[in-house]
Structure 1
Amino acid sequence: MIGGRRTAVALSSLVLVGSSWVAAPAGQADEGRHRDRDTGVILCTGPSESAYDPPLTLEARATRVHTEARYTCSVGPGRIVPATGTLDGVSPSASCNGLTNPRITETVRYADGKQSLIVYDTGTTVRTVGVLDVHLSGRVTEGRGKGQSAQRNVLLALPRELPTECLSSGLPGNSGQAQLEVRP
């Protein structure tokens, strides 16, 4: 009788294990294991549109910056999701020649329902012939990638000479290609 009971327990265990394998279709069991692991590298790229208030001129002054970005993000091995990024903040000394020491916050909303809050506390601008490279550095403070460092680069195509708006009414905004990288 003891041998029969052991056999019944062993068979019941096999049925339970087998039913758990059948309940999760192939590929989804592994996906579930990685779904909440947000500690890897996140790489997002896409177009970025910025607006300045007041518009940028040759005179450096405190300027409010608002940016909208449409990203395509790699959030894990083989996992690509669309996302939007909204940046808001102030550059205490901004002009057509660049932004200095901006304090900007970005909220990235991923199509899978997650989001990241990034606080940028340093920034540099490098102007070369026809290109303005704006580089922001900070940290993810909430959500996907929390605690990881964040780097955002935007390449803005510029004419060889400063836009005429810089000499008169001011440059109200510009657009370029952005790359956001979040890494441990």
Structure 2
Amino acid sequence: MAGRRGAVLALTSLVLAGAVVCAPASQAGTANSGGATCTGSFSNAYDPPLTLTPQTARIHSEAHYACTTAPGHTVRATGSLDAVAPRASCVTVTAPRATETVRYADHHRSVIVYDRATAVYAGGVLVVKLSGRVTEGRGQGHPAQRTVTTLPSQLPTECLGSGLRGDRGGAQLEIRP
């Protein structure tokens, strides 16, 4: 009887070892890699409101994400981003540096410093891509990219008058392992 149990145990161990060795490279190490892919929505507030004339503006953004942090593991998160854009207007909003703190529902967080930004404006929609690095918490040291597609929460004619106070849209955040 003991010989049979030993053979079953050895066979089970061999199968488990083979499963670990043969795991696809895309899944290897993802559970503890610190990476995350998040999608959701955001809202921005501009101070002062944006007009057609470029000016220095403070930007505050709040995001709500659903983040995949490991295969089959999704957790809710919120992001809070602050930046100063030296030449912001209704036509383009880019900031040379922004900081986002992402708080995950599993009690982890990531602090991301973005130091590169590109913006494309077409047909009333602004697409902004921020690139940087996680400086603290989950994913520390890993590259991060945040892409947002903004839709004005006010009429575009506000750019001619009192200014655009904010916008909202879809957000995607990727922290690469």
Distance 1:95 1:42 in 2: 32
CA distance in 1, matches of 2:37, 2:115: 20
Question: Residues 75-134 of structure 1, C-alpha deviation per residue, up to 9 Å, x if partnerless?
Answer: 011110000000012111111111234321000000000000000111111011242101
- Correspondence for 1:136 among 130, 134, 150: 130
1: distance between equivalents of 2:40 and 2:65?
Answer: 4
RMSD: 2.1
Structure 2: segments with no counterpart, 5+ residues: 1-28
Q: Any unmatched runs of 5+ in structure 1?
A: 1-33
Q: TM-score, normalised by structure 2?
A: 0.78
Query: Is the aligned partner of 1:75 residue 2:69?
Result: yes
Maintained 8 Å contact 1:56/1:166? yes
Q: Secondary structure at the match of 2:167?
A: strand
Quick check: 1:180 aligned with 2:168?
no
SS of 1:99's equivalent in the other structure is coil
Q: Which residue of 1 aligns with 2:59?
A: 65
Q: Is the 8 A contact 1:137 1:149 kept in 2?
A: yes
Asked if the contact 1:87/1:106 (under 8 Å) is kept, the reply is yes
Kindly indicate whether the alpha-carbon contact (under 8 Å) linking 1:101 and 1:124 is maintained by their aligned counterparts in 2: no
Counterparts of 1:8-157 in structure 2 under 5 Å? 37=32, 39=33, 41-157=35-151
Highest CA radius of gyration, 1 or 2?
1
In the alignment, structure 1 residue 168 sits paired with structure 2 residue 161:
yes
SS at match of 1:98: coil
4+ residue runs of structure 1 moved beyond 6 angstroms? none
Contact 1:57 1:170 in 2 (8 A): yes
> For 1:40 and 1:74, how far apart are their aligned partners in 2?
11
One-letter amino acid of the structure 2 residue matched with residue 110 of structure 1: Y
Provide the TM-score with structure 1 as the length reference. Answer: 0.75
SS in 2 for 1:122: strand
Aligned to 2:93, what secondary structure does the other structure show?
strand
